[in-house]
Chain A
């Protein structure tokens, strides 16, 4: 009989907080959506990490760190490379623009069929919410340019200060 095997998968990860950008490798036990929202996971461990301060006037350069820990309360948006979800996202998706204190995030927020868009970040526990076709722009001039697109990502619901459904061209970008 085969024993239970914990499947750990490596993903390239780009984590944006209010003050730092972190690139590296995230090792998740099982599907990333479940892992990120696992209550027993208090911080995210990033391997071969590069930590870049975002403030324009910061006196340190990007730092390479073998193993970097980020409290799970810090990321505002996370994107994973080479991620093919094993668990299907919630079926309903609504195009929304979400504003955090540092970023404007436009993407398709996934939610249950009966969830109203205004309740998207509050009905489900999160803290990370699945987003597809995600555009990321910084609200302010930062030390490095943050302007990215990702097919899949996660927004931390509690980082969202306001959100709305864009119309017309704004929805397309």
Chain B
């Protein structure tokens, strides 16, 4: 039996780094992100950009780069659409804050999930569509913009609310 793998371009934002590369998950990437047996993500053709002002190293190109899963705050997977992310049925617009980023996006929850329980749902990475990302502090790289689909590490979320507009 052969394990089906597909390579996806990926961008990962941590509190201190922007990381880009090629990501080859086993099976559906949305499920792979939440696989409890995966402790770190391996990226090929990785590029590591320090974000903290005053960093004494610049952009680094690395062959294979490993990123511990709990460091990741936001993941953008190229060539993956919302259909491939197996979204839950109820869309919910939220603004959420990590220690470094503010994100406005549509999250997807179960019909019965209360807003306050969004971060208590199973799975570490919450898929969100139509996302806008904003860096809360000056960073060494121009981080921010829009993405049709992102995944947010729920433990990175410090506070969140439902925008009224």
Contact = CB atoms under 8 A, between A and B. Distances in A.
A126 interface: no
B119 interface: yes
A42 B118 CA distance: 9
A69 interface: yes
Interface stretch (B41-49, B60-68, B83-91, B135-143): B135-143
Classify the interface of chain B: helix, strand, loop or mixed: mixed
Classify the interface of chain A: helix, strand, loop or mixed: strand
Interface residues of A, number: 25
Interface string B123-165: 0000000000001111000000000000000110111111010
A67 B115 CA distance: 10
A28 B161 CA distance: 19
Contacts of B17: none
Chain B interface size, as a band, is 20 to 34
A55 B97 contact: no
A22 B159 contact: yes
Interface of A: 17-20, 22, 42-43, 45, 49, 51, 53, 55, 57-60, 65-71, 73-74
Interface of B: 53, 97, 99, 102, 115-120, 135-138, 154-155, 157-162, 164
